Structure 1
Amino acid sequence: MLLLTVFLVIASFAFTDAHVFQKTSIVNPFDQLTVTSILENHHVISVRNAHKKLFPGPTLAYVTPWNNCGYNIAKIFKGKFDYLSPVWFYIEPKTPTGYVIEGEHDVDSSWIQEVRGGDDSMNISAKVVPRFQCRSWSTPDWYQLASNTQNAKQLANQILKVVIKYDLDGIVLECAYPSIFPFFVQRLSETLRTHHKTLVAVLPPIRNEEQKKVLNAQSFAFMAKYIDYFSLMTYDYSTSRIDGGPAAPVDWIIDNIEYLTTDENRHQLLMGMPMYAVSYAPYHYPEPLGMETVLRKLQEQRQHNAENQMPVIWDPVSEEHWFKYMINNHRSSMHIWMPSLTFIRQRLAIAKRYGIGVALWEIGQGLDYFYDLF
């Protein structure tokens, strides 16, 4: 049964020896991208590079239970990802008996062993650092953690118990702005480092001046003494705009990198990179779309296009692709902004230039051939 499962997973991919840009017939990656080129090549991956890490910086990949094909992506591209962060755990507000950590029912120990198991001949290894997210916390709950050292110690110890129980390599902590809880951050760091575990903290990106009061170069430098890596959520840039726009414009990404980090701590930053699209339609809230959904929409577009080569438009300012999708019996349209090979390539170039890593949200939403580039 196990052999059949592995076969079915591998059979869904098409393999080639060609590099991803060669196999998609894009001599210059800025050449016009077409619906046809995406539909015909998105599932083709390089057998030569499937387990070979091409990007030199640290790469963290999130995996979610609601897009569980990401679990298989982690295995198919074993070796690409230095850190895998399954989204399993939620920290509920404090009760009279302590904090409550939910999510143990999602833990898959066999998957952990499979993706983490090293292969000396291929230099393959990965650390499993599940996400622990504070959920349903009120302002008084945050204040209790920030002001009470006993609460901070208690929560750090409870997290460690889960880490030890499942033999995890560390955690990704998502709790608003970690700099608000300096004692908790220090305590958690010391607790994990005593057991040689990794601590990654999620940071919201800088969008306005108000945020700079709690997140700036000084607070980042302080946290960098206790936190190994920071997963910066540099995506969803335009979701507050009525007319929509790019998810991760390059100028905004660079502004965040340069504002928060220095030469001494920049290597600890993981630049967030979305593997999903976002659609914007009149009178509707922005909607995140997995790339499988985007493929279906592109297929529909191709069926209604006689030339069969309708372009996906490249925005040279944000360095992101988008296309128009007709709705309401072609009486109106939505704009869909999406990652592409070129989108990823340009952001990896930024990461290399600044000497930082990347954090992918999340690999269950992307296209197979995206991961060749990492």
Structure 2
Amino acid sequence: MAHYLCFFLLFCLIISIESTIGPGSRKASVRATEKVAATPSPSIRSAPPPSVSSSFEPLPPGKTNVLQRNLVQENIDSKSILENYQSYCTTCLETREFTNPTLIYITPWNSHGYDIAKIFTKKFDYISPVWLSIKRNGFEKYTVEGTHDIDKKWIGELKEKNPKVQIVPRIIFEKWSADDIHALFQSENEKQELASTFATFLKENTDLFDGYVLELLVQFRGASKPTLSHIINDIAERVHQIENNGKKKQIILAVPPYDELFNTNDFEMLYEHLDGFSVMSYDFPNREPGPVAPLGKY
């Protein structure tokens, strides 16, 4: 009797296992049904997006300007941009419609910018190559880095085409450690050594460069604003002491478009010590999608 009971229990156990994981189980068929139900049939699948092809070629440079071609409009379409973005006015290369000072940035990772600067040199007052950075390398020691990007031949060509153009490389305070920032902000000797480094480098390259564009407000966000203004003023004072052919070197400050980083009070503390401000309007939409340099902001 005991043998029959053991056989019966073993038989029930095998049947229960088969009903759970066997190939003919209901759970397997349910999973298959759910999978089929979740997969759209070919007849209702969304069609792939249509391919976009260009049926036109960009227009070459011509003898008329954008106003004569009626390209300055409030509502402009993409087709007009793609057709005309290369079509600058060849007879207007020395004509300036905008009488206020102009500054452009040239980046080494976009080589086309070098050519654009040469074509339109006479339209610009300041050209700022994005080449340089300044680093702290120990106790009261600073170095200018990025000098391998300096293109002396290109600078010579620009100044030959427009003797009045001023080359003011942007120099950025980048990848500073917390210890480096603390040392600079706490020590007057560190501040003076930093300013001296700026002046020395400019003296060594006096025939190439006419000053600097400083970029440090974003990098030193949260720091003491009075101390930061003190650092900027010290640099400006040293730079303004340098002259070449009777012309003083200049300092322009790159300004982010955020009131918490630069506001009216900051402007009041600095404007008498600097030669200009460059509002980095392309930074404006970083926080949320939106326009670059919206009119309401500036």
Task: Identify whether the pair has TM-score above 0.5, normalized to the shorter chain.
Answer: yes
One-letter amino acid of the structure 2 residue matched with residue 206 of structure 1: Y
Residue 170 (structure 1) aligns with: 211
Of 95, 106, 131, which residue of structure 1 is paired with 2:170?
131
Residues 1:85 and 2:137 aligned together: no
The partner residue of 2:181 within 142, 145, 163 is 142
Superposition deviation, residue 251 in structure 1: 0.9
Distance 1:115 1:179, change over 3 A: farther
SS across alignment from 2:121: coil
Instruction: State the partner residue of 1:8.
Output: none
Q: Report 1:1-374 matches (<5 A).
A: 14-23=60-69, 25-26=70-71, 29-30=73-74, 32-96=75-139, 98-117=141-160, 125-167=164-206, 168-176=209-217, 180-195=227-242, 196-206=248-258, 211=260, 215-241=262-288, 244-252=289-297, 254=298
SS in 1 for 2:283: coil
* Distance of 2:233 and 2:227 partners within structure 1: 12
Number of aligned residue pairs: 228
Rounded to whole Å, the distance in 2 between the matches of 1:203 and 1:170 is: 17
Q: Could you say if the C-alpha distance between residues 13 and 34 of structure 1 is closer, same or farther in structure 2, counting changes exceeding 3 Å?
A: closer
Q: Relative to structure 2, which stretch is displaced further, 135-144 or 98-107?
A: 135-144
Q: Alpha-carbon deviation of 1:84?
A: 0.4
Distance of 2:285 and 2:269 partners within structure 1: 30
Paired with 1:72 and 1:199, the residues of 2 have a C-alpha distance of 25
Identity %: 31
Give secondary structure in 2 for the equivalent of 1:33. Answer: coil
The amino acid across from 1:96 in the alignment is F
Gaps of 5+ in 2: 1-57, 243-247
Question: Counterparts of 2:85 and 2:77 in 1: how far apart (Å)?
Answer: 12
Verify the 8 A CA contact 2:140 2:189 in the aligned structure 1. no
CA apart distance, 1:191: 1.1
SS at match of 1:115: helix
The alpha-carbon deviation at position 20 of structure 1 amounts to 1.1
Q: Does the CA-based 8 Å contact 1:109-1:166 persist in structure 2?
A: no
Aligned partners of 2:255 and 2:278 also within 8 Å: yes
CA RMSD, Structure 1 to Structure 2 (Å): 2.3
Map of 2:50 onto structure 1: none
State the Cα deviation string for residues 13-71 of structure 1 (Å, max 9, x = none).
93322121333x44x612x4233322221111112211222211111100000012111
Residue number in structure 1 paired with 2:33: none
SS in 2 for 1:21: coil
Larger RCO (CA within 8 A; separation ≥ 6): 1
CA offsets per residue over residues 130-188 of structure 1, 9 Å max, x none? 01100111333223222322111111111122212222100011112675423322221
**Cα-to-partner distance string for 1:285-332 (whole Å, 9 max, x where unaligned):** xxxxxxxxxxxxxxxxxxxxxxxxxxxxxxxxxxxxxxxxxxxxxxxx
Tell me, in whole angstroms, the C-alpha distance in 2 between the residues paired with 1:13 and 1:160: 46
TM (normalized to structure 1)? 0.56
2:215–2:253 Cα contact (<8 Å) kept: yes
1:319-373 per-position Cα deviation (integer Å, ceiling 9, x unaligned): xxxxxxxxxxxxxxxxxxxxxxxxxxxxxxxxxxxxxxxxxxxxxxxxxxxxxxx
**Bigger CA radius of gyration:** 2
Residues in 2 aligned to 1:219 and 1:175: alpha-carbon distance in whole angstroms: 14
Q: How many angstroms apart in 1 are the aligned matches of 2:151 and 2:226? A: 32
User: Shift in Å at residue 97 of structure 1?
Assistant: 6.2
Letter in 1 for 2:201: V
8 Å Cα contact 1:83-1:129 kept in structure 2:
yes
Check whether the contact 1:118–1:125 (CA below 8 A) recurs between aligned residues.
no
